[in-house]
């Protein structure tokens, strides 16, 4: 359940503890470990950059002492640090033009080397973040495709799109600039403080007095930024949903003249999003001045305390200059702390939203038995042959369907519980190769019954059998490969007509595509289009009529050559003459497979081997066309009404 749909806890309940940013970002560790060699290489170049980056400050100090005529450069520097820099000080000479020239040349060289490794650090670490973004994007889409209809009943498309785009980009910022600037900050601070301590331990303690206050400011503002970032991303999800729904339903909006109303609704969502961003900007604008004051105070302390030591002869001007440049070098890490805090807090909030998708698990999965069957039959096959293996296994399904005391409720109530039952004690047997027709008023459970066969929703165990075996014992790929399903709400992709018909069939032969279109009664219309089967249908098939979309969907199901064909009111958008022509062509296909035919028209179902009438989730009548007419019940009454309608239309 998304942030908008989550239930509100009672006032008396103890508030749940908000997970920390690190808790959310831990999910990225496996992704980073995939590129551990790249990360190590990036950190190596960063370390070299940091070490080389410390030389300019020391060189500036040596140059100042050289100009001042000090006997020893950086006189307070001692111990390991001085031994490390011995080659640098070996040619030092007070007020020597030669030494000055060498130091200037080394300074230029150090800056060039630092720039070189800075480039490679960015190229390696930022490139790694793009690779992880690629992996994350694939994993998010794979999980979204794998999830059940229940998940989509609880979450809005626009919000999911926002998570897969804006949130993913915020997470990438953590992996790229976030990691890089954190490492640069750490390396710079360690080296700078190390040399500052070596130059003057007492002065270092003075200038680091504001550091605890910096840490407190970072923690305080970090919590605010994290909280506001979550609200911003949630508001963006609402805004994306508004935009997506308006664009998808633009024809309905215009038909009902609701343009102004929708604009106002979008404006409200937009204002909420902007308002949350302004709150974040307000906090952000306080954060940087606070850091600037704290950073400025360190410079004031240095000038006050260090200046007195220079005047008193306790420090050389070169040592003071080196110390000052190291302190200035610390300015960037301190400012970067604020920038990195923002990146990590926003990224943590976004990763929390992505974790909601990545941690979601489909409730409809292969059982251990079906997994063992799949492994036993396909274990030696490569991934590229997976669809072919599933198709081969699907051919072993004959298509006998049996419902045993099936009672079903959609699990879309609060907390995932079932609501009111929509099917009640359904008992039904459909022999393999037979045609079952289902009629009944809207909301009687016809489509629900059909969707259970393909496990789009999960029937209670043991209540739905195929070929005498519980439906959940079949691997999902095998089961669904054996089914050709034409739902009520026909969906076409933004692709060619050929691509839409061949969807779900790998390497479909062109003649088979034409044959399927011919059986569905649409080949003539397709060939009349300027580009024939290569005509683009537009988003959701917007360039086709309702009848053309339905027949394209029928052709898609026929091309799969399924063992079980389910037509859920698939001819509702065509006229009776076209329907009769399609049914004549379909009868040859239907003789070879089990067919579930759902319709409101008697003319569609009258030739079925068995007709079932449903009402309020129960079977109220069952038999052939003639038997149901003789029964004189709901079916006979519906037949008489439709006969009267046809007569009135002819008049």
pLDDT in tens, 282-333: 877 787 777 778 777 888 888 888 888 888 878 888 888 888 888 888 777 7
Residue 422 has pLDDT above 70, yes or no: yes
Task: Round to whole Å and give the CA distance between 377 and 497.
Answer: 35
Task: Round to whole Å and give the CA distance between 554 and 138.
Answer: 30
Q: For residue 602, give the nearest of 631, 573, 580 by alpha carbon.
A: 580
Comparing 382 with 72, the larger pLDDT belongs to 72
Q: For residue 581, give the nearest of 558, 610, 603 by alpha carbon.
A: 603
The CATH label, of 3.30.43.10, 3.40.50.300, 3.40.47.10, 3.50.50.60, for the domain at 387-482+564-651 is 3.40.50.300
- pLDDT more than 90, % of the chain: 11
Pairing type for strands 594-598 and 564-568 reads parallel
CA distances from 190 to 44, 209, 340 (A): 15, 16, 17
Comparing 121 with 591, the larger pLDDT belongs to 121
DSSP state, residue 174: I
Residue 273 has pLDDT above 90, yes or no: no
**What string of DSSP letters covers 124-170?**
HHHHHHHHHHHHHHHHHHHHHHHS-HHHHHHS-HHHHHHIIIIIHHH
Q: According to the model, what pLDDT value does residue 20 have?
A: 55
Residue 543 CA, chain-centre distance (Å), reads: 29
| 3-class secondary structure, 406 | strand
- Which strand (E) or helix (H) includes residue 623? strand 618-623
**What are the domain boundaries of the chain?**
21-358, 387-482+564-651, 489-561
Q: Are 165 and 122 in contact (CB under 8 A)?
A: no
Residue 250 has pLDDT above 80, yes or no: no
Tokens of 442: 């809207």
Residues sharing a CB contact under 8 Å with residue 164, sequence separation 6 or more, in sequence order: 137, 140, 141, 144, 357
Task: Round to whole Å and give the CA distance between 218 and 222.
Answer: 6
Residue 504 has pLDDT above 80, yes or no: no
Task: Round to whole Å and give the CA distance between 53 and 370.
Answer: 61
Task: Round to whole Å and give the CA distance between 26 and 595.
Answer: 50
Sign of the Cα torsion 36, 38, 41, 43 reads: negative
Superfamily of domain 489-561: P-loop containing nucleotide triphosphate hydrolases (3.40.50.300)
- Which strand (E) or helix (H) includes residue 485? strand 483-486
CA distances from 468 to 257, 428, 460, 474, 590 (A): 54, 13, 15, 11, 21
Residue 431 has pLDDT above 80, yes or no: yes
Q: Are 399 and 563 in contact (CB under 8 A)?
A: yes
Q: According to the model, what pLDDT value does residue 533 have?
A: 85
Task: Round to whole Å and give the CA distance between 38 and 24.
Answer: 23
Task: Round to whole Å and give the CA distance between 446 and 455.
Answer: 15
Sign of the Cα torsion 632, 636, 641, 645 reads: negative
Task: Round to whole Å and give the CA distance between 11 and 9.
Answer: 7
Q: According to the model, what pLDDT value does residue 14 have?
A: 40
Q: For residue 46, give the nearest of 150, 138, 144, 117 by alpha carbon.
A: 117
Q: Are 280 and 232 in contact (CB under 8 A)?
A: yes
Q: For residue 432, give the nearest of 628, 568, 596 by alpha carbon.
A: 596
- 3-state SS record for 322-376: HHHHHHHHHHHHHHHHHHHHHHHHHHHHHHHHHHHHHCCCCCCCCCHHHHHHHHH
Residue 12 has pLDDT above 70, yes or no: no
Q: Indicate the range of 115-124, 225-234, 314-323, 434-443 predicted with least confidence.
A: 225-234
What is 21-358's CATH topology?
A: ABC transporter transmembrane region fold (1.20.1560)
Q: Are 637 and 600 in contact (CB under 8 A)?
A: no
Q: For residue 497, give the nearest of 526, 540, 519, 539 by alpha carbon.
A: 526
Task: Round to whole Å and give the CA distance between 70 and 57.
Answer: 17
Quote the mean pLDDT of the chain: 81
Q: According to the model, what pLDDT value does residue 131 have?
A: 92
Residue 577 has pLDDT above 80, yes or no: no
CA distances from 477 to 370, 387, 481, 483, 620 (A): 10, 8, 6, 10, 34
CA distances from 122 to 54, 330, 416, 478 (A): 19, 20, 46, 47
Q: Whole-model pTM?
A: 0.73
Tokens of 89: 């000080």
Unique residue bearing structure tokens 């360039």 = 543
Per CATH, 21-358 and 489-561 having the same topology is answered no
Confidence bin at 9 (pLDDT 50/70/90): very low
pLDDT in tens, 514-547: 888 888 888 888 888 888 888 888 777 777 877 8
Task: Round to whole Å and give the CA distance between 293 and 5.
Answer: 43
pLDDT in tens, 405-421: 999 998 876 555 567 88
Q: Indicate the range of 15-19, 96-100, 367-371, 592-596 predicted with least confidence.
A: 15-19
Average pLDDT, stretch 77-81?
Answer: 77
Q: Are 533 and 502 in contact (CB under 8 A)?
A: no
Q: Are 318 and 272 in contact (CB under 8 A)?
A: no
Residue 198 has pLDDT above 60, yes or no: yes
Tokens of 191: 């080296």
């Amino acid at each position: 359940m998304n942030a908008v749909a989550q239930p509100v806890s009672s006032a008396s309940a103890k508030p749940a503890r908000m997970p920390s940013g690190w808790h959310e970002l831990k999910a990225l560790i496996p992704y980073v470990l995939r590129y551990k060699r790249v990360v190590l290489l990036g950190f190596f170049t960063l370390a070299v950059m940091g070490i080389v980056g410390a030389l300019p400050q020391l060189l500036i100090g040596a140059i100042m002492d050289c100009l001042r005529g000090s006997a020893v450069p950086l006189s307070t520097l001692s111990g390991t640090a001085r031994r490390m820099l011995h080659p640098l000080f070996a040619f030092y000479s007070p007020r020597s033009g030669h030494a000055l020239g060498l130091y200037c040349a080394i300074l230029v060289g150090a800056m060039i080397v630092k720039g070189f490794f800075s480039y490679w650090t960015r190229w390696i670490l930022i490139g790694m973040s793009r690779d992880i973004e690629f992996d994350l994007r694939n994993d998010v889409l794979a999980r979204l495709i794998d999830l059940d209809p229940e998940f989509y009943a609880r979450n809005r498309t626009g919000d999911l799109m926002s998570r897969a785009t804006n949130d993913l980009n915020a997470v990438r910022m953590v992996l790229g600039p976030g990691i890089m600037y954190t490492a640069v900050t750490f390396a710079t601070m360690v080296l700078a403080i190390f040399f500052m301590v070596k130059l003057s331990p007492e002065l270092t303690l003075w200038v680091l007095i504001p550091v605890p206050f910096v840490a407190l400011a970072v923690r305080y503002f970090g919590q605010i930024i994290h909280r506001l970032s979550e609200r911003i991303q949630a508001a963006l999800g609402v805004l994306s949903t508004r935009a997506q729904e308006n664009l998808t339903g633009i024809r309905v909006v215009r038909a009902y003249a609701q343009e102004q109303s929708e604009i106002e609704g979008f404006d409200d969502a937009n204002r909420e999003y902007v308002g949350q961003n302004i709150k974040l900007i307000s906090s952000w604008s306080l954060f940087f001045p606070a850091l600037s004051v704290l950073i400025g105070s360190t410079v004031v302390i240095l000038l006050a305390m260090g200046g007195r030591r220079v005047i008193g002869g306790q420090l050389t001007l070169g040592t003071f200059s080196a110390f000052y440049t190291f302190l200035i070098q610390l300015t960037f890490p301190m400012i970067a702390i604020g920038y990195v805090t923002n990146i990590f807090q926003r990224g943590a909030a976004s990763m929390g939203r992505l974790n909601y998708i990545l941690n979601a698990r489909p409730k409809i999965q292969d059982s251990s038995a079906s997994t063992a069957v799949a492994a036993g039959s396909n274990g030696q096959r490569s991934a590229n042959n997976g669809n072919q293996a599933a198709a081969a296994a699907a051919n072993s399904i004959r298509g006998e369907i049996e419902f045993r005391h099936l009672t079903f409720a959609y699990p879309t109530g609060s907390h995932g519980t079932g609501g009111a039952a929509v099917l009640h004690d359904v008992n039904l047997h459909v022999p393999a190769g037979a045609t079952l027709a289902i009629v009944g008023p809207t909301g009687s459970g016809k489509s629900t019954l059909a969707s259970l066969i393909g496990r789009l929703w999960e029937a209670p165990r043991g209540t739905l059998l195929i070929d005498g075996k519980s439906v959940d014992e079949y691997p999902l790929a095998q089961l669904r490969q054996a089914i050709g399903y034409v739902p009520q709400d026909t969906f076409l992709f933004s692709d060619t007509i050929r691509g839409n018909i061949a969807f779900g069939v790998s390497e479909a032969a062109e003649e088979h595509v034409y044959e399927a279109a011919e059986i569905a009664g649409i080949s003539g219309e397709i060939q009349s289009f300027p580009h024939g089967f290569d005509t683009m249908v537009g988003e959701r098939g917007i360039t086709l009529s309702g009848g053309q979309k339905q027949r394209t969907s029928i052709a898609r199901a026929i091309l799969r050559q399924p063992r079980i064909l389910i037509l859920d009111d698939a001819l509702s958008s065509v006229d009776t003459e076209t329907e009769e022509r399609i049914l004549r062509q379909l009868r040859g296909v239907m003789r070879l497979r089990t067919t579930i035919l759902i319709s409101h028209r008697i003319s569609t179902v009258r030739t079925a081997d068995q007709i079932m009438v449903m009402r309020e989730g129960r079977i109220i009548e069952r038999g052939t066309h003639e038997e149901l007419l003789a029964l004189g019940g709901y079916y006979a009454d519906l037949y008489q009404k439709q006969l009267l309608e046809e007569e009135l239309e002819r008049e």
